[in-house]
């Protein structure tokens, strides 16, 4: 059994070495958000929300907008927050900017932005950026839009790549 694994590993390694020189140049490294990082950000965001008595929902998503972690605090102000927080985070991740940018665009006359189906064009989510690359986002639905951003900023401040 052990010899079989060694042989398979040798064959796989040999196959990589046999690739044309340019083949490896066609692959890039991609940074990814870990669950541990998401937990750390949610804990910091939750502490900010609790400190100010603004219970709500906090979500962290990956660069594709898929949830890493969603937390609904006890006595969350809005039941809709379980949809809004991850939706805001998804918006920030996929548009690669704070969700407020879309809300501002709409409020400043860019009504066509409302046709972006499946996105939450509301203040309260921030992208997570490492070396200029968006690797995810944190979104909040708790209290007022400004409070949501304050909570998200607290979570983002706890992130250290």
Digit-coded pLDDT (tens) for 51-75: 999 999 999 999 999 999 999 999 9
pLDDT for 94 equals 97
Q: What is the pLDDT of residues 11-34, one digit of tens each?
A: 444 555 555 556 667 888 889 999
Q: Give 60 or 7, the one with higher predicted confidence.
A: 60
- Sheet with 125-130: list strands edge to edge: 67-72, 57-62, 133-141, 125-130
For the chain, the average pLDDT equals 89
pLDDT for 24 equals 65
pLDDT for 10 equals 47
pLDDT for 102 equals 92
Position 161 confidence tier, pLDDT thresholds 50, 70, 90: confident
Map out the domains of the chain with their CATH numbers: 35-157 (3.30.450.150)
Cα angle 42, 64, 140 (rounded to 5 degrees) comes to: 30
pLDDT for 21 equals 59
Query: What's the rounded Cα separation, in Å, for the pair 91 and 81?
Result: 15
When mean pLDDT is compared across 8-12, 76-80, 119-123, the lowest value belongs to 8-12
């Amino acid at each position: 059994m052990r010899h079989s694994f060694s042989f398979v590993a040798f064959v796989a390694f040999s196959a990589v070495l046999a690739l044309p020189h340019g083949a490896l140049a066609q692959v890039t490294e991609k940074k990814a958000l870990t669950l541990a990082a998401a937990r750390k950000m949610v804990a910091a965001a939750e502490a900010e929300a609790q400190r100010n008595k603004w219970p709500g929902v906090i979500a962290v998503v990956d660069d594709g907008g898929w949830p890493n972690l969603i937390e609904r605090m006890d006595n969350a102000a809005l039941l809709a927050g379980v949809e809004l927080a991850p939706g805001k985070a998804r918006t920030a991740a996929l548009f690669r900017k704070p969700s407020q940018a879309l809300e501002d665009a709409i409020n400043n006359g860019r009504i066509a932005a409302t046709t972006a189906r499946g996105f939450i064009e509301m203040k309260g989510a921030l992208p997570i950026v490492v070396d200029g690359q968006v690797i995810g986002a944190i979104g909040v639905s708790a209290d007022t839009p400004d409070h949501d951003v304050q909570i998200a900023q607290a979570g983002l401040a706890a992130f250290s790549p």
